[in-house]
Structure 1
Amino acid sequence: MLKKRQRYVPDLQEMAALCEANYLRLLKLLAGAEVGDERIFQLSNDLHSAQVRLCVDEDHRYTTMVSVIQEGLSPDWLQPMSMQVRLYHDASMAEVLSYQNQQRFDGRYSYPNPAMRMPDEKVQLNRFLAEWLDHCLKYGQTIQPIELPQRILPVR
């Protein structure tokens, strides 16, 4: 007898917690940043070196758009890993909007699907962002000096 697959049910509490934690991580990493500003974090060990670049692309009253790009650790013929993240200041959340030029991620996908996305693709992308930002906070060294902030990013 074939067992029927259970349909994936998104865990909204987990997603909200991820987005709230990512918002706080980005605030720490982008303290005082304005549109056009970027922070570059050098991540290296004895064998490898990479950089994570955070760029403030847009800043509006209730939202800010940030690009997160990893450079290094991949051959020249591969596109560097990148994502667009929107910070929602009124909700104190940050959400991945695009990854590797793929946009519009649904909260749940049936599987298999034409794009071959996992059922929990959106949660996985936000988890991946959390790991990236945590790594920058724990091990990253800023390449350019960061001045003490005159303002914190979400203040309007």
Structure 2
Amino acid sequence: MAQCEANYWLLLKLTPGFEARDSWQFAVEQGASSWEMRIEVTERMRYTTTLRVSRVDDTGSDWLQSPQLLVRLYHDAALAEVLAWEGHRRLEVRYDYPNQKMYQSDEKSQFNRFLGEWLHHCLKNGHSLHEIILS
């Protein structure tokens, strides 16, 4: 739960004007190279917002996909939880191991931790590709 709470606040830092906008894009420096990250609102409800968090990759490679996560923000609880990644849906909290899909026993926890590390990296090394207007 602590990771989900931290992810919520990190996402809000990365998405200025959250109530009025539906997409954000960042250039992120990583050593000598850089890449882009996109955050898009896919659904807005009264107490939740669903986001697609993805790395924009124009390499054209068919065998290596860039990460793409579907994340739900729970505004009343101030939590952000990874719902799905690259078409894999309905993550269980725990899996028996071994299992048919060969998920790790703590797969959902690992994805939430990955999201947190990814967002931290973007805050530390990224810059917005859009003009930010704070009112």
Fold-level match, TM-score > 0.5?
Answer: yes
User: Are 2:31 and 1:69 equivalent residues in the alignment?
Assistant: no
The percent identity for this pair of structures is 46
Q: How does 1:13-52 map to 2 (within 5 A)?
A: 16-34=1-19, 37-45=22-30, 47-52=32-37
Contact 1:87 1:95 in 2 (8 A): yes
Normalization by structure 2: what TM-score? 0.91
Would the alpha carbon gap of residues 86 and 45 (structure 1) be closer, same or farther in structure 2, given more than 3 Å must change? closer
Residues 59-92 of structure 1, C-alpha deviations (whole Å, 9 max, x = no match): 1110001110012386521332101000001111
| Structure 2: distance between partners of 1:114 and 1:35 | 43
Normalization by structure 1: what TM-score? 0.79
Instruction: Flag structure 2 segments of 5+ consecutive residues without an equivalent.
Output: none
Question: Match for residue 111 of structure 2?
Answer: 125
Instruction: Flag structure 1 segments of 5+ consecutive residues without an equivalent.
Output: 1-15, 150-156
| Structure 2: distance between partners of 1:120 and 1:96 | 13
* Letter aligned with residue 107 of structure 2: E
* Letter aligned with residue 76 of structure 1: S
Q: Which residue of 93, 96, 119 maps to 2:79?
A: 93
Q: Give the number of the structure whose residues are more often strand, by fraction.
A: 2
Question: Number of aligned pairs?
Answer: 134
User: Are 2:89 and 1:103 equivalent residues in the alignment?
Assistant: yes
Greater CA drift, 137-146 or 45-54: 45-54
Q: Which residue of 127, 145, 150 maps to 2:131?
A: 145
| Structure 1: distance between partners of 2:74 and 2:99 | 30
Q: Give the superposition deviation at 1:100.
A: 1.1
Q: Give the superposition deviation at 1:45.
A: 4.0
Q: Which runs of 4+ in 1 moved over 6 A?
A: none
